[in-house]
Structure 1
Amino acid sequence: MDTNTQPDAIELIRLVDLTQSISVRLRSTEPILETPSVRHYDAEAVVTSGFVNGTVYLGFDSEDLTDLDRLLDAIEEAEQEADLDEPFTADWPQSGRTAYLRFIAEDPHVVEVRDETSTQIVVSVPLDISEEWIAESRERLAAARSALALPQRDHHEERP
C-alpha cells in the first residue's frame, strides 16, 4: 500500500488474471464532498502488469455505485448473448470528470484505464478473468456500500 492511501481504504473493483490486474481502491471511506443527495469519494485506479504499472486518480460519487451495479448486470447479460456483432462496451464512472474504466466484454475481456482529462494516457489490459468475476464484483460493491453506509440494491427487483 502506498503512503498516500488511508488505512481504511478498500478495493471497490479487482479484476485479475495470472499476470496482470486492474483495481479501483477507495482512498478513504470518508467522502471528500457531500451534498444533501450525493457523496463524492476519492479513489484511484491501479494497473499492475509485467509491461506497465501505474496509478491514477479516479473520483466517483454515490450515484456512480448504482451505475456500477447496472453495468455488472449489462455485462452479465451481454456475456450470455454470444452472438453479438460488436462486443459490449461501457464506461465507469461516467467519462469526462476524472480517469475512468472502459469495459469491453469480449474474449478475453479488455479493460482500459482512460485518463483523457489529465494525462491523456490510455492503458488497455486484456484480462482472462474467471467466470466468477461478476459475483465477486457484486460482493465487493456490497462491501463498499456497507463501508460507505449506502443502501444496498436488491438484485431481485425488476430492471428498468
Structure 2
Amino acid sequence: MDTNTQPHAIELIRLADACQSVIVRLGSTESTLEGPGVRHYDAEAVVTSDFMNGSVYLGFDSEDLADWGRLLDAIEEAEQEADLDEPFTADWPRSGRTAHLRFIAEDPYVVEVHDGPSTQIVVSVPLDMGEGWITESRGRLAAARAALEGGGA
C-alpha cells in the first residue's frame, strides 16, 4: 500500500487499514534542537490512499513522545466506555507549533492531518482499525524511543 517507505525508516505512528494510512516517519534519530531536558525531532506525516497521497513536515519533542503514550492509554480507556456522548478526540503533537494529527475515536476511526501553521489544509482519513492496533502502536513507540535514545536522545 505505502510505496513511499524508505528502507530502514523508523515509523513512530502507523494508523492503517487495507486501503489507506497515516504514518509519522522520523527524519533522523538525531535531535535537531535541544533545550533544558527537551530534544526536538523532525518527522513527516504521510497520507497514502487510493484518492490522494501527500506528506507534510511534522516536528515533535521528547515530551510529545510521552504524550503519544498517554493518548494511546486514553483511547483504550474511551473504547471501554461505549456510552460516551461525544467521540474521544485528541491532537498529537500539541496543535499550533507544527502540523499535527487529530485523532477521532469513532466508527470508523478518523485521523485528520492538519497543516495549520503553513497551508491551513486539513486532510481527513477514515480508517477501519483492526484489533490490536493499540498494542502495535505501543510497540512502535517503544522502538522509536529506543532508536532516539541510541541516536543521542
What TM-score range do you get, normalising by the shorter chain?
A: over 0.9
Which residue does 1:125 correspond to in 2?
A: 125
1:149 match: secondary structure: helix
1:66 match: secondary structure: helix
1:9 shift after superposition: 3.5
In structure 1, how many angstroms separate the alpha carbons of the residues matched to 2:96 and 2:35? 21
1:77 match: secondary structure: helix
Which residue does 1:56 correspond to in 2?
A: 56
Which residue does 1:156 correspond to in 2?
A: none
In structure 1, how many angstroms separate the alpha carbons of the residues matched to 2:78 and 2:24? 23
1:72 aligns with 2:72: yes
Which 10-residue stretch deviates more, 8-17 or 111-120? Answer: 8-17
Which residue does 2:18 correspond to in 1?
A: 18
Scaled by the length of structure 2, the TM-score of the pair is 0.92
In structure 2, how many angstroms separate the alpha carbons of the residues matched to 1:65 and 1:90? 14
Structure 2 unmatched ranges of 5 or more: none
Read off the aligned partner of 2:146 and give its amino acid letter. S
1:148 match: secondary structure: helix
Which residue does 1:155 correspond to in 2?
A: none
1:139 match: secondary structure: helix
Which residue does 1:89 correspond to in 2?
A: 89
Which residue does 1:33 correspond to in 2?
A: 33
Which residue does 1:42 correspond to in 2?
A: 42
Which residue does 2:104 correspond to in 1?
A: 104
Residue deviations 1:103-122, cap 9 Å, x none? 00001100000011101100
Tell me: higher relative CO, structure 1 or 2? Use CA pairs within 8 A at least 6 residues apart: 2
Read off the aligned partner of 2:11 and give its amino acid letter. E
1:136 shift after superposition: 0.2
In structure 2, how many angstroms separate the alpha carbons of the residues matched to 1:85 and 1:75? 15
In structure 1, how many angstroms separate the alpha carbons of the residues matched to 2:55 and 2:49? 12
Residue deviations 1:19-68, cap 9 Å, x none? 00000000100001112300000000000001111000000000000000
1:8 shift after superposition: 5.5
In structure 2, how many angstroms separate the alpha carbons of the residues matched to 1:131 and 1:111? 17
2:18 match: secondary structure: coil
Scaled by the length of structure 1, the TM-score of the pair is 0.88
Which residue does 1:157 correspond to in 2?
A: none
Read off the aligned partner of 2:51 and give its amino acid letter. F
1:83 match: secondary structure: coil
1:86 match: secondary structure: coil
* CA RMSD, 1 decimal: 1.7
2:143 match: secondary structure: helix
